[in-house]
Amino acid sequence: MKNIPTDIIKYIKDKDALQAYSELVELMGFTEDEASDILGVKTFKDLKFKPHHVVPKGVAAVEYFPLSDKGEGGWFSVVGGGSGLYGDGLTSFELYAEGMDNPLTYLSKEQVTKEMLERQKTKYEL
């Protein structure tokens, strides 16, 4: 997205990714795609699911992005479908990321996006 008004950039630049994304979508009326493009962040739609390497009929996606608290590369795994996974791989998912003690289970696509945003920095924060 080009030519973002300076006032909008000034408003969001000091906010974390989740807050800036939420305000762009909910308060300013941008689409989710426009908000992620403006901020330079990834959301559920950016996950590239492939067949799970171990679980038949399961799917898995892995992303790497800076951890919000350390600025280091961090991994983020989303799985679903197949026996033994906590999500159907279509509408609910299991999420596990660097620094977590236990996975989060049966998350919606929107909840996965929220967790992704909590672990990223916007291009204005980097």
Is residue 42's pLDDT more than 70?
yes
Residue 125 lies in a domain: no
Rg (CA), the chain: 15
Residue 124 lies in a domain: no
Residue 126 lies in a domain: no
Number of independent structural domains in the chain:
1
Task: Work out whether strand 104-107 and strand 93-97 pair parallel, antiparallel, or are unpaired.
Answer: antiparallel
State the amino acid at position 1 in one-letter form.
M
Residue 82 is given by DSSP the state S
Q: What are phi and psi of 108, to 5 degrees?
A: -75, 170
Is residue 34's pLDDT more than 90?
yes
Residue 21 lies in a domain: yes
**Per-residue pLDDT reduced to its tens digit, 105-114:** 999 999 999 9
**Structural domain containing residue 41:** 6-118
Please report, to the nearest 10 degrees, the dihedral formed by the alpha carbons of residues 42, 106, 72, 47 taken in order: -30
**Per-residue pLDDT reduced to its tens digit, 69-109:** 555 568 899 999 999 999 999 999 999 998 889 999 999 99
Residue 33 lies in a domain: yes
Distance, CA of 59 to CA of 67 (rounded, Å): 24
Q: What is the pTM of this model?
A: 0.91
Mean per-residue pLDDT over the chain, rounded: 91
